[in-house]
Homo-oligomer: A and B are copies of this chain.
Amino acid sequence: MVSVQPITVAQYGIGPIGAEIVKLLMTKSWIRIIAAVDVDPQKIGRDLGEVIGIDQRLGVKVTADLREKPAVVCHSTGSRLRQVEPQLRALLEHGSHVVSTCEELAFPLDKEVRENLQKVARANNVTLLGTGVNPGFVMDKLPLTLSAVCQQVRSIEIIRVVDASLRREPLQRKVGAGMTREQFKQAVKDGKIKHMGLKESLMLVANGLNIDLDQVSEEKIEPVMAEGPIKTQYLSVDPGFVAGVHQTIQGSKRGTIDLSLDIKMFLGAKDPRDEVRIKGVPDVNMRIDGGVHGDRATAAMVVNCIPRVFAARPGVLTMDDIPVSFR
C-alpha cells in the first residue's frame, strides 16, 4: 500500500519524456514534486510548470544539480548507460531511489557498469530501476508474466508492430521514413536508426526464466520499403523509399528454449499490435490490439513503478524483480 505521507519526487531531465512524467506526477495525490534538474541554461532558474509548457506554476525551480533530497528521482536524460552512469551514481550517493528511462538500464549488459552501480546502490541503501514501455514492459515484463501459467516453455515469440504514422514527427524520422535503401543502410551503420533496448529485453526475459542462453544472434536492422505512396501529417514517402524499420534478435538454449523478439515501426503499418506467442504447456497466445502506445505508456511505467521501487530491496533491480500496476 502507498504510504499516507506523499512520496517526495524530483524530475531529472526535462525533455519531452521528462515533461510527460512531470504532468503525470502532478495528478498523483501520493506524490509531491520537490525538485527538477536539467543541464539546459534556457531551463535553469525557471519554474518547472513554465518549462514543461503548462499554464500553472509549480513552485519548483529548475536547477543545474539536485539540492533537495527526494525519496525518489525520475531520471530521463539518455539511452546509453555509459553516458548516464555518472548521473545515476551521483543520485544514488545522494541517497535517493532512482527510476530511469535509460533503455540500456532495463538490463545492464555492461558488467563493469552494472557492478559499480550495484555497489553504490547497496552502500547507500537505495534502489535503481530501469523501466519504460519498451524496453521495460511489452517485450519483456509482459511476456515473462504470461509465462507464469506454463508448466513448460519451448519457445516465446514476441512481436510488436507500431504504425509510426500515428506518432510524432521525430519518431517518424527516426525510423528512417523517406530515405533511400542506401541512406537507411548508412544511417544504421552510423547508429542513427536503432530501437534501443531490444537486446536488453531479450536478456531480461532469459534472466527472468532463469536460463543461460548459449546462443544470441546479432541484432538485425532492416528497412521496410513503402509499397504505395504514404502521406502523414508530417511527411510523404514515395513507393520504393523507406517506410520504416524492422528489427529482430533471437536467443536460444539448445534443446531447451527459443526466444525471438521482432519489432516493426513503419508508416502505414497494418494491424499494429503487441503479441506474445508461447509454445509450451499450455500454449499462451496473447495480443493487444492496436499495441500499447509508447509515449504515454513510458511516463505511466515510470510513475507507476515509484511505490514499488520505494518498497523494494536496495540494489540495481530490473522489471523482473518487482510487481507492477497502475497506481
Seen from chain A, the residues whose Cβ lies within 8 Å of a Cβ on chain B are 1-2, 24, 27, 30, 133, 137-138, 141-142, 144-153, 207-210, 280-290, 292-293, 296-297, 299-301, 303-305, 307, 319-327
Contacts and interface: CB of A to CB of B under 8 A. Distances in A.
B149 A133 contact: yes
A149 B292 contact: yes
Nearest first, the 4 closest Cβ-Cβ pairs linking A and B are A147-B326, A148-B324, A149-B297, A144-B325
Contacts of A299: 151
Give this chain's copy count: 2
Contact of A287 (B142, B286, B323): B286
Nearest to A300: B151
A326 B286 contact: no
Contacts of A281: 296, 300
Given A24-B151, A149-B300, A321-B323, 17 more contacts: A133-B149, A142-B146, A145-B324, A147-B325, A148-B325, A148-B326, A150-B300, A151-B297, A151-B299, A151-B300, A208-B325, A210-B307, A282-B292, A282-B293, A285-B288, A320-B323, A322-B323
A269 B9 CA distance: 49
The SS class assigned to the A binding surface is mixed
A208 B149 CA distance: 20
A145, A290, A307 — most chain B CB neighbours (10 Å) = A145
Contact of A2 (B1, B210, B288, B297): B210
Contacts of A150: 297, 300, 304, 326
Contacts of A300: 148-151, 281
Nearest to A209: B326
Contacts of A290: 283, 285
29 contacts: A2-B210, A27-B152, A141-B145, A141-B148, A142-B145, A142-B146, A144-B324, A144-B325, A145-B324, A145-B325, A147-B304, A147-B326, A148-B301, A148-B325, A149-B292, A149-B297, A149-B300, A149-B301, A150-B304, A150-B326, A151-B296, A151-B300, A209-B326, A280-B326, A282-B292, A285-B289, A319-B323, A320-B325, A323-B323
